[in-house]
Structure 1
Amino acid sequence: MTTATRTDTGTLRDLLDAPGPFVSVYFDLEVRPQRTEEAEARWRDLAGRLAREGVDQRTLDALTTRVLDALPGTGTLALFATNDGEIRHTVELPGAARGDIAEFSPVPHLLPLLEWRQDHPARVVAVVDRTGADLLLYPEGSTEPERRLVQGPDDEIVRSQPGGMSQMRYQHRAEDSWEHNATRVAEALGTALSETSARLLLLAGDVRARQYLTKHLPQWVRRDVTIGQVSGSRSEDGSAEERTAQVEAEAARAGHARTEGLLRLLEQERSPGGHAVMGVNETLEALSVGRLRILAVTDDPQDQRTAWFGPSPTDVRERREDLPEGGGPEAHEGRLADVAVRAALLTGADVRVLEPDLSPTPAQGTAGLCRYSYS
């Protein structure tokens, strides 16, 4: 059995490359005190439905073990298994609360996981003082950071009070030290942002140190990265929990802003010669030639439209007869949104999941931005 605990695109591509059919489960781990039996009963209901849909007993036993071992917990447990008893991917999604989902289908149901991931974009937090900084690096889809300590080169950070000209000299020396240390932190932040591909930087700590730091950030950071503020300092002042909550809120806000920006760009690029495609046919056509750069798709549980896909990432059509050579024996029919997501991830496109009541909603709940336009 192989188990993954990440939500990165590479891991999801490995999952999509596995032979189906797949069992996709999202199980709410929130349990009221002393009421674990209620969660166990919820799982038995889901397992019974999966059994009636054709999931074999080995797979159900493996899923049951994993679910019960996770109780009680927080957030949502996402599980993906093939119908041979092997769990291909499992990950806990803190803060996710969508209710229980269990599907048995030819392609994994990744939309709830992707929607959670886009609310947790890559980000870097810097808690600074006049000697250096504590950096927290969050890759996309992560709630546990990598921690780095940055220590500035200068240790003369306190202004002496000797009086007269000496006081001014000591003051300048201290401020030079603060600036040197801020320069070291700025360099480390540039590296951290590049490594994580983060476009969100959150600063906390000493106000003067943050001013010096902002001054020395690389030009590309000041141009391309959203810079925000959160509370707390490097000292043990009890602020870490509150700061973590603020970071989560700022990350979700940045994720929503990115979605809104994509919707605006789709509207702008709808003109002749633009890069936008709208509706099912245009979007699937772009996916079928590897032309799509970003897929925007609505996750609507009531939408039962389907599409067909074959073994190649670009074998994707609304009708089976439109696949190359009719798709052959390896053609499968799946939920339209899931089939589009599969093609997008396997051809290197990004995916943005839209809520059903989002306005403006793309035509037929499906759209995309292309790498190039047809003249």
Structure 2
Amino acid sequence: MSHRLALRDLIDVVRPARPVASVYLGSSPLRSWRARWLRLADQLRSDGAGPELVDTIGEVVHRARSLHPTADTLVAFAGEELPPRVFHTPGLRHLDLAWFSSPAHVLPVLAWLQERPPRVAVTAGRCSADLVGGTERISLNYPEPQWPEGVRSAAAACAEMLDRQEARLLVVAGEDEVVGTLWEALPAPVRRDVVVRWTGRALTPNRIAAETRAAARSSVEGVLADFNERGRVRHLSVEGVEDTLNAIAAGRLDDLIVGYPEDVTATAWYGPAPTDVARGWSPSRRCGLLADVAVRAALLSGTRVHVITAGVPSAPFENIGGLCRARLALVRS
């Protein structure tokens, strides 16, 4: 079955320790999707995928393409320990790719997901309020003379929707006075934890998408600033492959920063446990792409992952690093 991607889906995808087929069927093809799939299937077989697995993932991709012929990039995963899954990723521009590797190759979709965090959009007025979050929509109507009470009801509904959507981003449109009333009526924990983007009085789908992307970029920029200004100064950051993997293995990493596009020549070793990672060879571990190994460990251990553009001046050494919950000296001990 194909459906919209969420972070919990990626956690399930990276969980298997055995190899997984990762397939990216790009958008705007110059050739038929069938011809492109045959080439991808050949790549999976050359990587060691068995015929049954190749046929299975081919069937789910074909079914998804048939049901949604105009969809953007389709991303599929399947393995011995992972039932086949297909995701629509509107806006993801990716070349056709097929790998049978361990762990699953999720960095491109993780970067795509990071740009589209869960959010609730609210248009608040003196007669009505409209709330949208994911596929959920709520419309409230109230008499204009009682608009403050109506807006407070909208604030309560907004807080509940934020919780259901697991969203920490609120995009709001409306008059200053109305928006101010809505904000003041939100519970204190919501006002503390939620990022608010005010758009004036107009709120269109394009404006919501633009504000969501802007909030996502601002969040990543904040993490990088924290990494450079606080982490390095107070020795609460690590960077480079060796120190980052050591911090993951020690369970000290709060935030993983990883560059994309990834270095496809860099590898690391990992075991079945979430933080069982190392730079060098081990008979009890499997070898995988460094970025995939680090992302798997982070997702399975509850560490936040931030995908940045590889090579930017503020990036950590070797395009991988992070912020720790203890000083570097303690991480290395």
Q: TM-score range by the shorter chain?
A: 0.7 to 0.9
| Matched residue, 1:59 | 53
Q: Does 2:323 correspond to 1:361?
A: no
What is the CA distance between 1:70 and its match in structure 2?
3.0
Distance (Å, rounded) in 2 between the aligned partners of 1:198 and 1:41: 40
Same amino acid, percent of matched pairs: 33
| Matched residue, 2:87 | 91
What is the CA distance between 1:87 and its match in structure 2?
4.0
Name which of 12, 28, 31 aligns with 1:14.
12
Q: Does 2:40 correspond to 1:46?
A: yes
CA contact (8 A) 1:4 1:88 kept: no
Segment drifting more, 263-272 vs 20-29: 263-272
What is the CA distance between 1:205 and its match in structure 2?
5.0
- Spell out, residue by residue over 1:286-340, the C-alpha distance to the aligned partner (whole angstroms, 9 max, x if none): 11022111111112344311100112112100012xxxxx443xx1001111001
| Matched residue, 1:283 | 244
What is the CA distance between 1:201 and its match in structure 2?
1.2
Alignment CA distance shift 1:222-1:315 (3 Å): closer
CA contact (8 A) 1:150 1:188 kept: no
Distance (Å, rounded) in 2 between the aligned partners of 1:20 and 1:38: 32
Q: Does 2:149 correspond to 1:149?
A: no
| Matched residue, 1:305 | 266
CA contact (8 A) 2:129 2:140 kept: yes
Alignment CA distance shift 1:131-1:372 (3 Å): farther
Alignment CA distance shift 1:351-1:61 (3 Å): same
Segment drifting more, 9-18 vs 342-351: 9-18
SS of match in other structure, 2:205: helix
Alignment CA distance shift 1:62-1:230 (3 Å): farther
- Spell out, residue by residue over 1:88-126, the C-alpha distance to the aligned partner (whole angstroms, 9 max, x if none): 322110111122121111210010111011001121111
Distance (Å, rounded) in 2 between the aligned partners of 1:22 and 1:202: 37
CA contact (8 A) 1:231 1:243 kept: no
Q: Does 2:313 correspond to 1:352?
A: no
Q: Does 2:288 correspond to 1:334?
A: yes
TM-score, normalised with respect to structure 1: 0.78
Distance (Å, rounded) in 2 between the aligned partners of 1:319 and 1:22: 22
Distance (Å, rounded) in 1 between the aligned partners of 2:51 and 2:206: 41
CA contact (8 A) 2:253 2:324 kept: yes
| Matched residue, 1:162 | none
Q: Does 2:147 correspond to 1:178?
A: yes
Segment drifting more, 352-361 vs 332-341: 352-361
Distance (Å, rounded) in 2 between the aligned partners of 1:5 and 1:194: 21
Q: Does 2:34 correspond to 1:27?
A: no
| Matched residue, 1:116 | 112
SS of match in other structure, 2:264: coil
- Spell out, residue by residue over 1:264-306, the C-alpha distance to the aligned partner (whole angstroms, 9 max, x if none): 0001233464321111111101110221111111123443111
Q: For structure 2, which runs of at least 5 residues remain unmatched after alignment?
A: none
| Matched residue, 2:124 | 128
- Spell out, residue by residue over 1:19-52, the C-alpha distance to the aligned partner (whole angstroms, 9 max, x if none): 4211111111435xxx7x5232222221122222
Alignment CA distance shift 1:231-1:73 (3 Å): farther
CA contact (8 A) 1:22 1:82 kept: yes
Q: For structure 1, which runs of at least 5 residues remain unmatched after alignment?
A: 139-144, 158-173, 234-241, 321-325
Distance (Å, rounded) in 1 between the aligned partners of 2:321 and 2:14: 21
Q: How many residues align?
A: 326
Distance (Å, rounded) in 2 between the aligned partners of 1:38 and 1:335: 30
- Spell out, residue by residue over 1:191-232, the C-alpha distance to the aligned partner (whole angstroms, 9 max, x if none): 333443423211235666435424534445445433224487
| Matched residue, 2:253 | 292
Distance (Å, rounded) in 2 between the aligned partners of 1:93 and 1:231: 29
* Counterpart residue type for residue 128 of structure 1: A
* Greater C-alpha radius of gyration: 1
Distance (Å, rounded) in 1 between the aligned partners of 2:138 and 2:80: 42
CA contact (8 A) 2:120 2:167 kept: yes
| Matched residue, 2:101 | 105
- Spell out, residue by residue over 1:237-279, the C-alpha distance to the aligned partner (whole angstroms, 9 max, x if none): xxxxx81122112111111111111110001233464321111
Distance (Å, rounded) in 1 between the aligned partners of 2:139 and 2:250: 46
Distance (Å, rounded) in 1 between the aligned partners of 2:322 and 2:132: 33
Distance (Å, rounded) in 2 between the aligned partners of 1:14 and 1:50: 21
Alignment CA distance shift 1:314-1:226 (3 Å): closer
CA contact (8 A) 2:21 2:100 kept: yes
TM-score, normalised with respect to structure 2: 0.88
